Homo-oligomer: A and B are copies of this chain.
Amino acid sequence: MAERATGEVKDVLKRIEDHENVVGVIIVDKDGQAIHSTLDAMETSYYIQHCSTLTAIARSTIRETDPTDDIQFFRIRTKKFEIMLAPERDYLLIVLQNIKTAGKFP
């Protein structure tokens, strides 16, 4: 069963990474360690640090108003690219995509 799940995760990751606009994919575990990254070590640790902080603050913002609510997805559009964060229970998925061809936003 675990092998099949890992295979599925790899397929999904491959599809994200093969997307023409995607320039970086990072998966972080609960301890802040990179499980997977297409970026170099310095960029990987940089994005882990900042995206984990953003996620933690956003989560506390939401939970303070409604403890039954939680974050599902996060998109930060800048002039040059887009950071997408998908915080799950055991990991955080970070996807960086450039926006030359990324389509309309928001």
Contacts and interface: CB of A to CB of B under 8 A. Distances in A.
Interface of A: 46, 50-51, 53-54, 57-58, 60-62, 64-66, 68-81, 84, 105-106
Most buried by B among A46, A57, A106: A106
Secondary structure call for the A interface: mixed
Contacts of A53: 57
Contacts of A75: 73-75, 106
Contact of A71 (B70, B73, B74, B76): B76
Contacts of A106: 73, 75, 84
A72 B77 CA distance: 6
Nearest to A53: B57
